[in-house]
Structure 1
Amino acid sequence: MFEPPPVLPNVEWPYLQILVRLALSLALGLLIGLERERRGKEAGLRTFGFIALLGALGGSLGVAFALLILALVGMLAVLLNVQTLRAGQGTELTTSAAMLVTCVAGILCGQGHTISPAAVMVIATALLAWKERLAGLSTGLTEGEMRSALLLAILAIVIYPALPAGPVGPWKLVDPRAAWVTVILIAGIGFVNYILWKLYGARGTELSGFLGGLVNSNFTVIELSSRVKQSPGGTVDSAYRGILLATSAMIMRNATLLLILAPLALLGSLAAFALMLATSIAIVMWSYGRRRHRLGEKSPEIKLELPFSLPLALKYGVVFLVLHVVGGLTQRQFGDVGFYFVCVVGGLMSSASAVAAAAALASQGSISPSVAGTGAVLASFTSLAFSLSFVLRTRNPDLVGKLVRATLCIAVAGILGLLIWGSVRPIVTQWIPELARLEGGL
């Protein structure tokens, strides 16, 4: 008699769980496949959908199957290139790389990952969709801009790990690594926004003013004011809106720095920053509503300097360290009033560095989050006044009058926001125990 064949092991997958993984992988594959299909590539919507599903199945079955499917997709990419070469169309290296990335993302989905494969596929699709724009950006890069990018990478990757960790010095006021992270953060925000300005800034003075304000609001105001001084005709209205949008960008940048470095400090200044930003945008929209198109109206151009350089890095570092140390000492000796004075003075040199120093002191527990938030708002006030001084040099009564009124409205909105926080602060501290502990312990 024949013995019955051995029963193979059977693994039962949770239906809903595996269905969600397969659906996510298919959606991500179709996303990148849609972009390839739109460009008329051989590997399009269905091919990338199948590759993502194969990767998800391999990731669900185990490491051995995942590697096998990845190898099969690699062979498929080779066959695709052979076919295009025979047709005289050249190689499809970009599509082949996208196929491998899709397979790996599908494997991650099959293993239960969600955020990481989705982020990778969105980035990959963006790289494919922005081919022309990225190519134009790379060919338009100057040698100085390339050096700026390399210098930023050196400061972040090479110098940062070599710095000592923890506070140093006799009073333990300076943390070199924390200070360097702040410098890299400010410079990195400026660099990214400089790239955005390179991509979109030439489309209009208002957009250039906003993106330029994210890089350096004072320099943007100087540029727009100088253009008005050179040709005061039809440039006043566009320069007026550009300066206001540069101010809005400065407010957004300072609030973002607080959010990243000391979120509780932003809570104390959120009402002030929100009202200042809303007032600035409302004035810009009102100006748009009153705009009258005039024949031959010229828009002033903005020419920003390099996004990042060694002198700029040293400036950020020195200003941050000085404000950090002096702010801490004056707060110890003269209380909150002394710290506020340092923030006001620091806003003349660099409002971003002043805000970062306030956030760093709050994160270290040297000052309360509310004091840090108020100091950040005061530094923004100083930056507003400093920018207005450049506009006064144009001696254009129309532009000066408009911006003085707009600046006063923005400042009043900020003061109103600080008063609102002062009234609701006892209620908020009851809701947030961590904030109450920090406020009460200082």
Structure 2
Amino acid sequence: MENLELFERFGLAIAIGAIVGVERHWRERDEEEGKRTAGLRTFTLAGMLGGLAGFIEQAVSAPSTPRGLVVTGILIAFSAVFALYQYRESEASGSYSVTSVIAGMATFSLGALAVLGSLTLAAAGGVALVAILASREVLHGFMKTLTWNELRSAIIFLAMAFIVLPALPTTPIGPFGGVSPAETWMLVILLAGISFIGYVAVKALGQTRGELLAGAVSGLVSSTATAINNAQLSAAGHPPQVLVAGALAANAVSCLKVALFSALIAAPIAWRIGPALVAAALVMGGISLLIARRNTTESISHNSRNPFELPAVLKMALLLVAVAFLARASAALFGDAGLLTVSMLSGIADVDAITVTVAGMLDSIGTELAATALGVAAISNTVAKSGYAVALGASAYSIRFLLVNAGALAVGFFVYQALPALLQAVVLSR
């Protein structure tokens, strides 16, 4: 190594120890001198010690001897001393935790890695270590609200991703081009995973932030279910303004979710219809935010459905397979009209399945038809939710919901129609 690289690696080892030390010292900043086992200086020195161990390893190791003996020996000695002092502090304070010991060992190891291995990996490890240490309150709060059903859902997710997925065939099965079980299952994981992120956000943050947050997160799971639920609540006498804000937030998130899925699995479709979806979402989300700001004292309790419940996962997989088969069969038998009809009918219940299906058919149907099919599904879904609001909700709820949805669709349709001409004008101006 050249001198500049040596200083860079050694500096990173020290920096990792310093950022960990800042977090550890901050937690015990009110302790008197001599009452704290390890703080800023100690952890900085731990990172430096790891770096020095790495340099010694390079200097004394011979090609015939196993690598890592020096670093391992120093790490064992350091860990033993650190654990001893941490034990004495725990005995004196009556508070027992092994976190600082593990943090010290990790700091030393990352310092050694900075010298002997990847700088990028060492830096990322240091940031991750500090983030985990600083998230104690959030993680502890989340564990207090965690239920067995949610823990089971995490196990289901791991089984879906690492046991079921590798065992599924990738070759399409069935007529009209068939459906790939592996690709379908991967999309189930993707859809449920993004929804689960929203579910976890509510569990971690709580619903005290009001109907807007609850509605937005519900939109990740099912905006249609949110619209129906809020309509029924409004008919039962709950505040219609708050319920409209939640339902509109769910709609906005649903539009953004379709744009995101398109971008992830079929970018050309996202470029064509994404701006229109985003524009509609901005109208819905903006008005939802205005309503929520005027009604900050009222909230509605929700029981968010866990998207990784096994029945929900199986229903999603079956829906994806059914919609994919119907879309391919209709396109093959009836052409463009068949695909658009399936898109419209699928959108009445949900837009996720048709989004995934149309994106998978991009090579055979082209970008314009794929974008049109998604637009039809989005319009059908929005109209259906407006119909549910009129049929099930109070007039104060349904009229507001209907007007905002109509305005959002008009804005989205205008953007969709005007986008090609706008892009052409930009190209010609260059």
Q: Same fold (TM over 0.5)?
A: yes
- Equivalent residue, structure 2, for 1:352: 352
Change in CA separation of 1:154 and 1:110 when aligned onto 2, cut-off 3 Å = same
Superposed, 1:332-343 pairs within 5 Å as 332-343=332-343
Query: Is residue 345–residue 380 contact of structure 2 (8 Å, CA) maintained in 1?
Result: yes
In 2 relative to 1, CA 410–75 (structure 1 residues): closer, same or farther, beyond 3 Å? Answer: same
Deviation at 1:275, TM superposition (A): 1.0
Taking the TM superposition and a 5 Å limit, the aligned residue runs for 1:215-254 are 215-232=221-238, 235-254=239-258
| Residues 164-190 of structure 1: CA deviation (Å, up to 9, x unaligned) | 123233544211111110011111112
Q: What are the Cα deviations for residues 336-390 of structure 1, in whole angstroms up to 9, with x where unaligned? A: 343232222222232112212222223xx23324433443333232322232233
Mean CA deviation greater in 327-336 or 61-70: 61-70
Matched, 1:32 2:20: yes
Deviation (angstroms), 1:162: 0.9
Contact kept? 1:240, 1:403, Cα under 8 Å: yes
- Aligned pairs (5 A) from 1:164-313: 164-203=169-208, 204-232=210-238, 235-287=239-291, 291=294, 298-313=298-313
Q: Secondary structure at the residue paired with 1:43?
A: coil
Alpha carbons of structure 1 residues 404 and 171: separation in structure 2 relative to 1, 3 Å: closer
Structure 2 counterpart SS, 1:202: coil
Shift of 1:246: 1.1
Query: Structure 1 344/109 Cα, relative in aligned 2: closer, same or farther at 3 Å?
Result: farther
Asked if 1:100 is matched to 2:105, the reply is yes
Instruction: Give the residue type in structure 2 aligned to 1:129.
Output: A
CA contact (8 A) 1:223 1:303 kept: no
Distance 1:85 1:286 in 2: 52
Confirm or deny: 8 A CA contact 1:268 1:374 kept in the other structure.
no
Identity %: 25
Displacement of 1:97 in angstroms is 1.8
Question: 1-side partners of 2:165 and 2:272: how far apart?
Answer: 31
- The 8 Å contact of residues 224 and 302 in structure 1, kept in 2 or not, is answered as no
Deviations 1:116-173 (A, max 9, x none): 4444334333332232332232232223222222222222221111111232335442
Q: Can you list the C-alpha shifts for 1:406-435, whole angstroms capped at 9, x where unaligned?
A: 1011111221232133335668999xxxxx
Report whether the alignment pairs 1:42 with 2:5.
no
Q: What amino acid sits opposite 1:194 in the alignment?
A: Y
2:415 is aligned with 1:413 = no
3-state SS of 1:389 partner: helix
1:389-400 mapped onto 2 (5 Å cutoff) = 389-400=387-398
Distance of aligned partners of 1:286 and 1:298 in 2 relative to their CA distance in 1, 3 Å threshold? closer
**Secondary structure of the structure 2 residue equivalent to 1:324:** helix
Bigger mean CA offset, 349-358 vs 313-322:
349-358
SS of alignment partner, residue 364 of structure 2: coil
Change in Cα spacing, 1:89 to 1:425, as seen in structure 2 (3 Å) is same
Tell me: CA distance 1:169–1:74, structure 2 relative to 1, closer, same or farther (3 Å): farther
| Structure 2 unmatched runs, 5+ | 29-35, 59-66
Residue 319 of structure 1 corresponds to 319
Q: Structure 1: 5+ residue runs without aligned partners?
A: 1-11, 431-442
Q: Secondary structure at the match of 1:366?
A: helix
Q: Per-residue displacement from partner, 1:239-281 (whole Å, max 9, x unpaired)?
A: 2211111112112222222222222321222211221122223
RMSD: 2.9
* Structure 1 residue identity aligned to 2:258: N
CA distance in 1, matches of 2:41, 2:355: 51
- Determine whether 1:123 maps to 2:121: no
Deviations 1:221-256 (A, max 9, x none): 233333322224xx2222221111111211222222
Distance 1:162 1:298, change over 3 A: same
Distance 2:16 2:387 in 1: 52
Instruction: Report the residue type matching 2:280 in the other structure.
Output: M
Alpha-carbon distance between aligned partners in 1 of 2:104 and 2:386, rounded to the nearest angstrom: 54
- Distance in 1 separating the partners of 2:45 and 2:206: 40
Paired residues of 1:358 and 1:375 also in contact (CA < 8 A): yes
Amino acid aligned to 1:228: S
TM-score, normalised on structure 2?
0.85
Number of residue pairs aligned between Structure 1 and Structure 2 = 410
Q: Do structure 1's residue 55 and structure 2's residue 50 form an aligned pair?
A: yes
- 1:157 and 2:162 are equivalent in the alignment: yes
- Given the two structures, how large is their TM-score scaled by the length of structure 1? 0.82
Q: Distance in 2 between matches of 1:213 and 1:328?
A: 27
Partner residue, 1:6: none
- 2:231–2:394 contact (8 Å) kept in structure 1: no
Other-structure match for 2:64: none
1:13 aligns with 2:11: no
Contact 1:374 1:418 in 2 (8 A): no
